[in-house]
Chains A and B, each alone.
Chain A
Amino acid sequence: GENVEQHPSTLSVQEGDSAVIKCTYSDSASNYFPWYKQELGKRPQLIIDIRSNVGEKKDQRIAVTLNKTAKHFSLHITETQPEDSAVYFCAASKANSGYALNFGKGTSLLVTP
């Protein structure tokens, strides 16, 4: 089955700095890669996603890049703010598994003022 590795497990940055979280996946058939943000005690919420026919996608301060050959994708957050502090999960999925999400173990991001 699909195996998703996520690094780092914790990340601390100062407000205004950039944060980068990296994920690798094992199943070359995976073609949909969402990123979820989960605040303490809350439900996971999608912040950005990318499909395998695209190499990069950006939404304001958040961007995701995908390298299909290397089977890795990354989340980039620029100009971080304290409200960005949360646990971030990457996931990989594919059509013939019904797009069931295989999640990484998460990255706990702390943005200090």
Chain B
Amino acid sequence: DTGVSQDPRHKITKRGQNVTFRCDPISEHNRLYWYRQTLGQGPEFLTYFQNEAQLEKSRLLSDRFSAERPKGSFSTLEIQRTEQGDSAMYLCASSLASGDEQYFGPGTRLTVT
């Protein structure tokens, strides 16, 4: 499969628990982006990586959120002490280089109960 993949596709967790999502970008894509999408809204930017370097974080990314891309390939997004307001679809996208088309993954749907 040559597309962007994300795991898991669905996650249900209780408030206060920690969750971690994984994104595998298209091979050789240097840029990796995380977005969050709630029902009826457009995706909102969270953070992005150039290879292993995290270059920008949105103000939406509170201290409970952390993202890594340790070897410049896959990335993880962790949410600590989840809240109901964290319920959303978390989308990952990758691009070959800056300014190129961003290819989206299928997303991880998080439900916090």
Query: Chain A: residues with CB nearer than 8 A to chain B?
Result: 4, 6, 32, 34, 36, 42-46, 49, 89, 91, 95, 97-106
Contacts and interface: CB of A to CB of B under 8 A. Distances in A.
Interface in B59-113: 91, 95, 98-99, 101-107
Contacts of A105: 40-42
B84 to A, nearest CB: 22
A98 B48 contact: yes
A102 B58 CA distance: 11
Contacts of B105: 43
B102 A104 contact: no
Interface string B9-47: 000000000000000000000010101000011111100
Contacts of A95: 98-99
Contact of A45 (B35, B55, B104, B107): B104
A44 B91 contact: yes
A106 B44 CA distance: 12
A101 B45 CA distance: 7
Contacts of B101: 34, 46, 49
A6 B31 CA distance: 27
B41 A101 contact: no
Contact of A44 (B31, B43, B44, B95): B43
A99 B101 CA distance: 10
Contact of A98 (B44, B56, B104, B106): B56
B99 A89 contact: no
Nearest to A2: B45
A26 B73 CA distance: 34
Name, among A6, A97, A98, the residue most crowded by chain B CB atoms within 10 Å (CB to CB). Answer: A98
